[in-house]
Amino acid sequence: MRNFLNISLAYRRWRHSHGFGVHSPFAYRFITEVLCLPKVYAYYSYLEIPEGDLRTLFRVAVRLKPTKVAFVGCDNKAVRNAVFFAMPHAVPAPLAEADFVVFDGRKNRKLPADSIPAGANMFIFNYRKWQARYVYAASMQAGMIFRNSSSVAVVAALPFLPRQDFDVLF
Tell me how far CA of residue 60 lies from CA of 67, 101, 142, in angstroms. Answer: 13, 12, 18
Average pLDDT of the chain is: 88
Query: pTM above the 0.85 mark?
Result: yes
Euclidean distance between the first and the last CA atom of the chain, given in angstroms as a whole number? 26
Angle of helix 53-64 relative to helix 77-86, nearest 10 degrees, comes to 30
Cα–Cα–Cα angle for 144, 35, 37, nearest 5°?
A: 150
pLDDT of residue 50: 87
Q: Is the pLDDT confidence value at 76 over 60?
A: yes
β-bridge mates for residue 68, sequence order:
91
Of the two residues 13 and 158, the one the predictor is more confident about is 158
